[in-house]
Amino acid sequence: MSRYYLIPIFLFLLFIMGCLISRSPDGVLVDLDAINLKPASPGHLLGTDSMGRDVFTIAALGARTSLSIGFAAALLAVSFGTVWGALGAMSGRIIGSLMMRVVDSMLSVPSLILLLAFSALINRPEFTNHLPTIVEQLLGISNYSLGLLPVVSVVSVIAATSWLEAARIAYSRISAIRNEEYIEAARSLGLGTLAILRRHLIPNARGLILIQATLLVSDAIVMEAGLSFLGLGLGPSTPSWGSMLRQAEADIFFGNWWAPLVPAILISLTVLSVNMLGEKALAPPDSSSRRT
């Protein structure tokens, strides 16, 4: 693998950084006088969509939403998965293998189906209408707006389906080193199980788990796009790459190919960057020494 195709990825990361640190526009204005403007029209670098919104602006705002969802979901999933796998490895053989069978059985279901099932559960009105007041205030839920609730439910649905790999990795890594001598030494010095986990075992599995977390960020972004595309994720009032794609059906009707193409390219570039990072990180040092 040569180095030059790192250049577009670098430019892409630069764009993302720009989106993240630039001053937020005051929302995305619907301008029905300027619908379906072609790219490079005056004032609209990437044109407008079929609702007259500036594609560049919603793409930049969408970068924030999509990346925040990706990072939040990956963080949540990896921390829960690590704790689950670590506890499974440290508890007895029966409980540990029971915990891992739960993971295995959930892994056998395609993740998008699990996503659908979970979002059917979480988006129930009887669940969302009876949140405690403090949660409602924190999320900015009022009679007129759902506030952050869609974002939070998308993040939790994605995390609920993607913690499984992290749990498996943590479990296998920790059960492999659980009986090493230095762990025994720590125990004989009087360290409790939790302290051993925190000080020795989890730091030892950290490298693998970090790689998994990186891969999960792009998975989560794709999952959000899929959910929003189906109409189960974020609506048009919360710009994200997925909700831009949701708009695609309307846009195709007007012959507007550029508005959906922008989020499609951005999502693919994100996945590509993460895949290349993963390829570098996961590649064995020398593939020719794999076999004898």
Partner 1 sequence: MGLDEPIPVQYGRWLGGWIGKGELGRSYQDGRPVLSVIAERMPATLLLVSISMTLSLLLGTAWGLMLAWLRLTDRMRWLEESLVAGSLALYSIPAFLVAIVTIFVLTGVSALHWIPVFSALDLENKGALQALIPLALIPALALGLPRGAKIALFIRTLALDEISRNYVTMALAKGSSYSRVMAMHVLRNCLVPVVNLLALSLPALIGGSVLIETIFGWPGMGRLAVEATFGRNYPVSTCLVLIYGTMVVLSNLLADLLSIFIDPRLKDGLSGQGMTLKQGQL
**Which range touches partner 1 (CB under 8 A), out of 20-28, 49-57, 139-147, 265-273?**
265-273
How many CB atoms are located within 10 Å of the residue 96 CB? 17
Report, in Å, the least distance between residue 185 CB and partner 1. 31
Report, in Å, the least distance between residue 157 CB and partner 1. 11
Nearer to partner 1, 60 or 169 (CB): 169
User: Considering the rule CB under 8 A, would residue 124 count as an interface residue with partner 1?
Assistant: yes
Which of 24, 25, 101, 105 is in the footprint of partner 1 by CB under 8 A? 105
User: Considering the rule CB under 8 A, would residue 282 count as an interface residue with partner 1?
Assistant: yes
Residue 24 tokens, joined: 């937020």
**Which range touches partner 1 (CB under 8 A), out of 54-62, 94-102, 188-196, 258-266?**
258-266
Can you give the three-state secondary structure of 74-95, one letter per residue? HHHHHHHHHHHHHHHHHCCHHH
Under 8 Å between Cβ of 232 and 216: no
Residues touching partner 1, count (CB under 8 A): 49
User: Considering the rule CB under 8 A, would residue 113 count as an interface residue with partner 1?
Assistant: yes
Residue 37 tokens, joined: 């403007």
Q: What share of the chain is helix, strand, coil (3-state, %, to 5)?
A: 70, 0, 30
Alpha-carbon distance values, 61 to 8, 99, 129, 216, 220 (Å): 21, 40, 28, 21, 17
**Which range touches partner 1 (CB under 8 A), out of 31-39, 71-79, 137-145, 261-269?**
261-269
**Which range touches partner 1 (CB under 8 A), out of 19-27, 67-75, 142-150, 224-232?**
224-232
Q: Residue 85 is which amino acid?
A: G
Nearer to partner 1, 200 or 229 (CB): 229
User: CA-to-CA distance for 223 and 269, rounded, in angstroms?
Assistant: 15
Nearer to partner 1, 129 or 133 (CB): 129
User: CA-to-CA distance for 249 and 94, rounded, in angstroms?
Assistant: 51
Residue 91 tokens, joined: 């508890």
User: Considering the rule CB under 8 A, would residue 284 count as an interface residue with partner 1?
Assistant: no
The candidate with the shortest Cα–Cα distance to 37, out of 18, 57, 17, is 57
Q: Which residues bind partner 1 (CB under 8 A)?
A: 1-2, 5, 105, 107-114, 116-117, 119-120, 124, 165, 168-169, 212, 215, 222, 225-226, 229-232, 245, 248, 252, 255, 257, 260-261, 264, 267-268, 271-272, 275-276, 279, 282, 287-288, 290-291
